[in-house]
A and B are shown apart, each in its own frame.
Chain A
Amino acid sequence: MGLGADIFIGSLLPTSTLRAATARAFSVPIDRVVYREIGESPWPDADVVLDYFDETIPGDYPLQLLPWVPDDRLETIGTALAVMAHDLGAPILTSADSDDPMDMELYLPDGTMHIVSVDQDEDGGIRNSPVMRALIDRATPSVAIAS
């Protein structure tokens, strides 16, 4: 099992919803997806582990998760994130395959992915830039994005 890059989800969602979307995205049974607070031990018997932080992250992406996924899925995690964004109806951010630490991949509910330039603020949160907000509005016209 390998560690994917941190993912940031643009909505607070019930654990059951997250586990179901993760199971679909990685094609594993839902009971093989464990959602746990980071630091809990021992290591769980699971196919996918989502470690979460024990507090809500400020900014537009209140959920920060550390995904542990099967090694053979690490290279294709982007596809899984696109499925998750679609299922959850929420944007998902993760680091891009780039040397620039501000390059991130933004997965949208319409299944598209965009490279955006954004950074964690001093409080650890991430705020949508105007470019990101426009992309999200276009992908989810029925969802009002906080400005």
Chain B
Amino acid sequence: MRKPADRHDPRKIREKDQGRRGTRNTIIEPRVDIQADLDAINRGDGIIDRHWQTIWVNGRLWGYHADTGTIYPMEGGGFVQMTQLQFFALRVLVRYNGINPQSERMLANNPDMTDEDRDIARRIWRMREEAGN
């Protein structure tokens, strides 16, 4: 199996990374040791469901592409499932390079965005900063 795409890594999210429907914009917190999960999977320690193409390992459920072997996060410890609006808020922070008057103005201008949406995006942004990006 191979590592997940960059869009799930808060340090590598780009403004143009597409938002997906529902809560399927899943971010992997930097504290998750992805390589350890991959190693465990490749050792055969994961519980594989070949029908649904999922692997349960170390308290996390990963999906995988049978053709490429690329895994993607689904649910479990260290995975944050963001709504489209929350993910959009995070993209705004990426656009304006952080929590600053410009990004806050744009987030405040949006009539649909709740304080919770903004808070979740800011939390992920801080993770990105703390992880050194």
Contacts and interface: CB of A to CB of B under 8 A. Distances in A.
A, B: real partners: yes
Main secondary structure of the interface of B (DSSP, over half): loop
A116 interface: no
Max count, chain A CB within 10 A of own CB: residue among B6, B16, B18, B20:
B18
A116 to B, nearest CB: 13
Q: How large is the interface on B (under 10, 10 to 19, 20 to 34, 35 or more residues)?
A: 20 to 34
Nearest to B95: A39
Interface in A9-30: none
B40 to A, nearest CB: 21
Interface of A: 1-6, 8, 38-39, 41-43, 53, 57, 64, 66, 68, 95-102, 117, 119-120, 122, 124
A99 B85 contact: no
B84 A5 contact: yes
A96 B19 CA distance: 11
Contacts of A68: 112
A107 B29 CA distance: 34
Given A41-B105, A102-B65, A66 B111 contact: no
Contacts of B88: 3, 66
B21 A124 contact: no
Main secondary structure of the interface of A (DSSP, over half): loop
B129 interface: no
B112 A97 contact: no
B20 A41 contact: no
B20 A1 contact: no
B68 to A, nearest CB: 9
Contact of B74 (A6, A41, A99): A99
